Amino acid sequence: FQFDHIDRLDIIENKIDMHEIILAERCGEIIGYLKLEYIWSKLPYISLIILKPEFRGRGIGTLMLNYLIEFLQLNGYETLLSSSQVNEAEPQMWHRKKGFVECGIINGINEDGVGEVFFKLNLVI
């Protein structure tokens, strides 16, 4: 499985240990992952959720998200951010279904001038 812009195994292992990469595995094979980053070193942001096509729509992304939410809540975080390209209706529906609310758009930030819509999830129980 190719990790987004990360080539060194030691960096990947460190990010897994720090809960910045959450792996989805099946029978020892990596089938997807969630990548977490921190804006201003304190605001958690899901920068990528990816699954092999044959495993999409089976609740695996939701399992990774739920694991992340529990980890963040246990560590005192109150908000989680995520985003999707403005032309990706399905990921936007997924975010809304999971309780995220739209909180802003950056126009023209992606390739071909495509904008990015941002979502926020309240983690306070």
Whether residue 52 has pLDDT greater than 80: yes
82 with 72, same domain? no
Count of structural domains, the chain: 2
Assessment of whether the complete model's pTM goes beyond 0.85 = yes
47 with 86, same domain? no
- Dihedral sign, Cα of residue 38, residue 39, residue 41, residue 44: negative
- Of 74, 8, 72, give the one whose Cα is nearest residue 82: 72
- Of 93, 87, 83, give the one whose Cα is nearest residue 118: 83
30 with 65, same domain? yes
* Domain ranges, residue 18: 1-77
99 with 83, same domain? yes
93 with 73, same domain? no
Residues 71-114: pLDDT tens digits?
999 999 999 999 999 999 999 999 999 999 999 999 999 989 99
Whether residue 12 has pLDDT greater than 90: no
Residue type for position 86: V
